[in-house]
Amino acid sequence: MADTPTAADRLDEFHQRALDHTRASLEHMARYGIEPEGRVALFLPPDARQQEIHRMPYEHAARQVVTYTTEPGEFTALCPFSGLPDSGTVRVEYVPGSWLLELKSLKYYLMSWRHVGAAQEDITALVFEDLMRHLDDPHRLVVTTDYTVRGGIHTVCSVDSRDQPSGRRSQPDRPDSAGLGTEADGASGDGAAA
């Protein structure tokens, strides 16, 4: 069992990854003349978040609005400038197409942001892109993050699928798993024109 990493090995890997990403983030900020104030702490890159969110089929003709809202402070990520936690609520509102999000999996996904350092606006956009990718074809998706006031500023970020450029409802590099074309090339995947 020498090939199985030990807990200490995993911790070393976690620490090195956090150190590398924090150093790269500080270098990125410095290019724009931004120096972090106060103490700098380690944080992970956004790609360290959970990548899978389970889903279940939605098999009804009725269009319904599904809303999930975390309790205040349940969602946290780390400020890339200070390493301090940014906490707040996440509200997901969607009208399902073919799929529903499985709640326990969504909860674990949201918890996976806890050690990630990223700007609040970036996190909101990434959560939207992740949920859009997993829902595949919702009629509407809105992700809103409402952060606890820090430094006297209350930040609310929202990404709405209805406000996205035509034909770009999700990540531009989303694979076309059905082989029926993508919205970007004019086919919606359901036989209708985009």
pLDDT at position 34 is: 85
CA distance linking residue 28 with residue 126, whole number of Å: 19
**132: which residues sit within 8 A by CB, 6+ positions away?**
138, 141, 161, 169, 170, 171
Q: 94-105 pLDDT, tens per residue?
A: 999 999 999 999
Is residue 194 within 8 Å of 181, Cβ to Cβ? no
**Percentage of residues in the chain having pLDDT higher than 70:** 84
Q: 72-116 pLDDT, tens per residue?
A: 989 999 988 777 889 999 999 999 999 999 999 999 999 999 999
- Of these residues, 12, 47, 79, 136, which one is catalytic? 79
- Of these residues, 3, 20, 47, 86, which one is catalytic? 86
86 catalytic per annotation: yes
130 catalytic per annotation: no
pTM above 0.85, yes or no: no
Q: 17-47 pLDDT, tens per residue?
A: 888 988 888 888 889 888 877 677 788 999 9
String of DSSP letters for 43-75: -B-GGGS-----EEE---SS---EEEEPPTTSE
Angle, CA of 31, 121 and 118, to the nearest 5°: 55
Domains and CATH numbers, the chain: 7-171 (3.30.1130.10)
